[in-house]
Structure 1
């Protein structure tokens, strides 16, 4: 099934592996000459969303801005890879409608909280547990698990290559010979 261009919306807890997966998928798309852009939550927070905090309203606005950018990219023929915690179902559903039902691919990076806390590369869980960060998703604020994601990936039980393969299959990309159905179609 040809799903390009589209938005791959990687959602899950902090340290679940969303950014690593986003960049691995970007590398695959580069290797088959598919235009793409990664919208990483941390980078977005330092640029287009630097004026936002972490209240539910600010999180909603963060998702809204990223979804609008993803739609622009898709309209230009570019695959968008959004790697955001995006903890609330309603916000992700709003993003789905902004981007378009046929273009939004929700990939739930379902890595368990215990694994995310053990990884904790930025020390955020430790700070949250010590009370230095309030309303941190997974400890002080809820993460609403997607009810019907297009794909579920637990990075604690699969390799990075297996995770990228799962997304590639969903998008109609054949990794074995580094070609995609869309790239073949566009060459004709």
Structure 2
């Protein structure tokens, strides 16, 4: 029994000892094999693109093939018979991909590869307070350099949201349990940053 154990430890030690040499030999062989071809620079670890590690990263990688940032040039909130619609005006509305969630009484939608930009190029924020019975605030802002965040705070619960594409852009149709056909006019307050 003791002889087997010491032999196993010795074998393991030999494998571990010679592993760097074996790896070095394989690299040398590869370099010799490629001496006749052009040797390219090997990427550093920090230069290698990492694969997605969660679901939202996976969807953002697969659904946005280009890294082009879509410009949303205006945001409108219009009353409807059922509630209110928030329109993100852009000519590339079909390229906008949404990741949404509810948190408490809020609906939150993140739109990667998009930015709020006035035609002059300035960033802006859209905010509408109490646009509808059951909604206390709608905010649309640049969450980071490549993401727009739409936040709708409901009262007492999160609103129901439907998404629509149109020639104008992307439309969020918002309704609440308390909404009625007669709504006061919405007074948005766009703010230039």
Under TM normalisation by the shorter chain, which class is it? under 0.3
Larger radius of gyration: 2
Tell me which of the two structures has the higher relative contact order, counting C-alpha pairs closer than 8 angstroms and 6 or more residues apart.
1
Higher fraction of strand: 2
- TM-score when normalising by structure 1: 0.19
Q: Between Structure 1 and Structure 2, which shows a larger proportion of helix residues?
A: 1
TM-score, length basis structure 2: 0.19
